[in-house]
Amino acid sequence: MSLQSKIDNSDATIGVIGLGYVGLPLMKAFWQASPQTFRVIGFDVDQRKIDALKSGKGYLKHLGEDFVKDMTASDRFDVTTDFARLAEPDAIIVCVPTPLGKHLEPDLSYVEDTADAIAATLRPDQIIILESTTYPGTTREVILPRLEARSLTCGKDFFLAYSPEREDPGRKDHNTATIPKLVGGIDPESGRIAEALYKKAVDQAILVSSAEVAEAAKLLENIYRAVNIALVNELKVLLTTMGVDVWEVIAAAATKPFGFQAFYPGPGLGGHCIPIDPFYLTWKAREVGLSTRFIELAGRINHAMPDYVIQRTAVALNSQSKPIRDSRVLVLGLAYKPDVDDVRESPSLELIKRLRELGAHVDYNDPHVPATHKMRKFDLRMTSIELTPQALASYDCVLVATHHAVYDWQMIADHAKLIVDTRNATRHVTGKRDHIFPA
Task: For 112-144, give the DSSP string.
Answer: HHHHHHHHHH--TT-EEEE-S---TTHIIIIIH
pLDDT at 372: 93
pLDDT digits (tens, 9 = 90+) for 81-140: 999 999 999 999 999 999 888 777 899 999 999 999 999 999 999 999 999 999 999 999
| pLDDT band (50, 70, 90) for residue 287 | confident
What's the one-letter identity of residue 277?
D
pLDDT at 139: 98
- Check pLDDT > 80 for residue 279: yes
- Give the mean model confidence (pLDDT) for residues 263-276: 85
E strands, 136-248, in order: 159-162, 181-185, 205-208
- Check pLDDT > 80 for residue 273: no
- Check pLDDT > 80 for residue 24: yes
The continuous run of DSSP H or E covering 230 comes out as helix 211-241
Q: Which positions are catalytic? A: 273
Q: Contact, 265 vs 232, CB < 8 A?
A: yes
For CA atoms 42, 47, 49, 53, give the dihedral sign: positive
pLDDT at 102: 79
- Computed over every residue of the chain, the mean pLDDT equals 94
Please give the model's pTM, rounded to 2 decimal places. 0.91
Domains and CATH numbers, the chain: 3-209 (3.40.50.720), 227-438 (3.40.50.720)
pLDDT digits (tens, 9 = 90+) for 324-342: 999 999 999 999 999 999 8
pLDDT at 375: 82
- Check pLDDT > 80 for residue 149: yes
Tell me the C-alpha distance between 383 and 381, whole Å.
7
Share above pLDDT 90 across residues of the chain, in percent, rounded to a whole number:
81
pLDDT at 66: 79
- Check pLDDT > 90 for residue 147: yes
**Helix-, strand-, coil-residue percentages of the chain, each rounded to 5:** 40, 15, 50
